[in-house]
């Protein structure tokens, strides 16, 4: 289905000039993968020698933005819209090129209105919208999968070791691996409680001197 947008501006103008009409061209980007938040550099560039218009739109991850500019004369304006090829070797950038034609006409009130038509690079297909979808390279995808599998394996091994330790203790009755750390923590606490108790006892009996050794 062809992109076809029509905006009418019923604005009175003087006989010597037209009132500029604001053109809006929506563009959507889709990020390569959930683990990437790359910036898409989308370019709109005139295909006519007389028109030097060139604009850049920065989209982050999956986002929709708009090229916005004004035209003050009736006519046919042709642009190409494409994604700038970045330097990130982990990303395969979208290479599609859209050819966008803007038809600007004057309406009965001598204002301006416009419509937009878009075609893909081969000019055989008319897209529903201008969309750029990046992909991660196969090496990066394999690396991400391997990393995720390694983390899952390490977590599983850790859980397995803990369970095996408990089973071994229950089987052999050897609680030293569990009790030793507990004893090392509890004994200093018990000693501290005894010292505090002895100190309070001495004070209650009226002793002025207390041997801290």
Which residues have CB under 8 Å from 26's CB, separation 6+?
64, 65, 66, 129, 130
55, β-bridge pairs: 44
> Are residues 180 and 132 both part of a single domain?
no
Q: pLDDT at position 132, please?
A: 94
Question: Is position 210 within any domain?
Answer: no
> Are residues 125 and 201 both part of a single domain?
no
pTM: 0.57
Question: Is position 101 within any domain?
Answer: yes
Contact 140, 119 (CB under 8 A): no
Question: Is position 168 within any domain?
Answer: no
Q: What is the number of structural domains in the chain?
A: 2
> Are residues 39 and 128 both part of a single domain?
yes
Q: Report the alpha-carbon distance of residue 41 to residue 21 in Å, rounded.
A: 26
Question: Is position 141 within any domain?
Answer: no
Q: Which domain holds residue 198?
A: 175-205
Q: Any idea what the CATH number is for the domain that residue 101 is in?
A: 2.60.40.3050
Q: Report the alpha-carbon distance of residue 96 to residue 78 in Å, rounded.
A: 17
> Are residues 186 and 128 both part of a single domain?
no
Per-residue pLDDT in tens (0 to 9) along the chain, 213 residues: 444 444 344 444 443 477 889 999 999 998 877 666 678 999 999 998 778 889 999 998 889 999 999 998 899 999 999 999 988 888 889 999 999 999 999 886 768 999 999 999 777 788 989 999 988 876 644 454 455 456 655 566 665 555 566 566 666 655 555 555 666 667 777 888 888 877 777 666 654 444 444
Q: What is the rounded (10 degree) CA torsion for 197, 201, 203, 209?
A: -80
Question: Is position 144 within any domain?
Answer: no
> Are residues 129 and 43 both part of a single domain?
yes
Question: Is position 160 within any domain?
Answer: no
> Are residues 112 and 183 both part of a single domain?
no
Q: What is the rounded (10 degree) CA torsion for 83, 85, 90, 96?
A: 50
Question: Is position 148 within any domain?
Answer: no
Neighbour tally for 202: CB within 10 Å: 14
Question: Is position 112 within any domain?
Answer: yes
């Amino acid at each position: 289905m062809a992109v076809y947008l029509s905006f009418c501006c019923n604005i009175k103008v003087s006989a010597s000039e037209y009132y500029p009409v604001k053109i809006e061209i929506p563009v959507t980007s889709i990020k390569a993968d959930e683990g990437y938040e790359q910036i898409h550099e989308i370019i709109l560039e005139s295909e006519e020698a007389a028109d030097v218009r060139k604009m850049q739109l920065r989209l982050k991850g999956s986002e929709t933005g708009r090229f916005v500019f004004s035209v003050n004369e009736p006519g046919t304006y042709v642009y190409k819209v494409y994604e700038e090829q970045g330097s990130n070797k982990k990303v395969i950038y979208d290479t599609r090129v859209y050819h966008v034609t803007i038809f600007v006409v004057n309406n009965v009130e001598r204002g301006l209105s416009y419509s937009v038509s878009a075609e893909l690079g081969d000019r055989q297909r008319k897209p529903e919208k201008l969309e750029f979808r990046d992909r991660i390279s196969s090496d990066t995808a394999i690396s991400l999968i391997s990393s995720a599998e390694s983390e899952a394996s390490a977590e599983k091994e850790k859980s397995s070791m803990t369970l095996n330790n408990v089973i071994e203790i229950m089987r052999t009755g050897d609680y030293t691996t569990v009790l030793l750390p507990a004893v090392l923590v509890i004994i200093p606490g018990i000693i501290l409680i005894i010292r505090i108790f002895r100190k309070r006892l001495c004070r209650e009996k009226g002793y002025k001197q207390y041997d801290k050794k």
